[in-house]
Amino acid sequence: MSIENMAQKAKELKEKGHANREISQEMHLSQATVEWLLAKQATDNFEEQLPPDVKVGWRTIGVSGSRINSIAEIMADVILEEQEKQGFDLDMVAGLTNNGIPLATIISDLLGIDFGMIRPSREGTETNYASNYAGLKDKHIVLVDDVVSTGSTAKEAINFIKQSNGKPVLTMVLINKKADDKLEDVPLRALIRARPVRN
């Protein structure tokens, strides 16, 4: 997708009432990149340099249940590897809405543990969890999402788990765009690490 197309998409989402954070989650871009795209779209004489970022799209996986299942199997294997290496207990997989839910649901089934769903805050709302699913209290929890860009959504979920008297033991994602191996002192594992390289 070209810069112009990304800027247009960001503008369209903004006009629909999405907050910058929601746009960044929808487009799998950092919030700084979204702000840059919106500023570029707003002026004809925009000269500021694009912040370093990596555009992520995993639609080829997302359009197929069997492909999502295959990726979830790999993620479950990595979770078990981390459990053996670090020696943590494992009671629950919590998916972050929206994109972490399909992966977390399958991982929960594969590992035979509870499933939960955490909704990150949106403009005017707070982080919460869906009460139809397993509660967080006294559980050792693996947090699952698709992409970590800045880490702010995952950090928010980790802190929410802690405040709910749960214990986050691992964050498992499809793609990590950060150099970090931990978020809020919780190990971070990804199937793919993607980082921009600059001189």
Beta-carbon-side half-sphere exposure of residue 64 (alpha carbons within 13 Å): 8
Going across the sheet that includes 140-148, the strands are 128-129, 114-119, 92-96, 140-148, 167-176, 186-193, 182-183
Note whether 84 and 111 are same-domain residues.
yes
Give the β-pairing of 182-183 and 128-129: unpaired
How does DSSP classify residue 48?
A: P
Each residue's pLDDT expressed in tens, for the chain with a length of 199 residues:
677 888 888 888 888 888 887 887 777 777 778 888 887 766 766 677 776 666 667 778 888 999 999 999 999 999 999 999 999 999 999 999 888 999 999 999 999 999 999 998 877 678 877 788 889 999 999 999 999 988 889 999 999 999 999 999 999 999 998 889 999 999 999 999 887 665 4
In this prediction the pTM is 0.76
Note whether 113 and 172 are same-domain residues.
yes
Note whether 103 and 172 are same-domain residues.
yes
Q: What is the pLDDT of residue 150?
A: 83
Note whether 115 and 31 are same-domain residues.
no
- Tell me which residue of 123, 121, 124, 130 sits closest to 155, measured CA to CA: 121
Look at the chain and report how many structural domains it folds into: 2
CA 185, chain centre distance (Å): 17
Residue range of the domain that includes 33: 3-42
Phi and psi dihedrals of 48, rounded to 5?
-65, 145
- The answer to whether residue 103 sits within a structural domain is yes
Note whether 23 and 110 are same-domain residues.
no
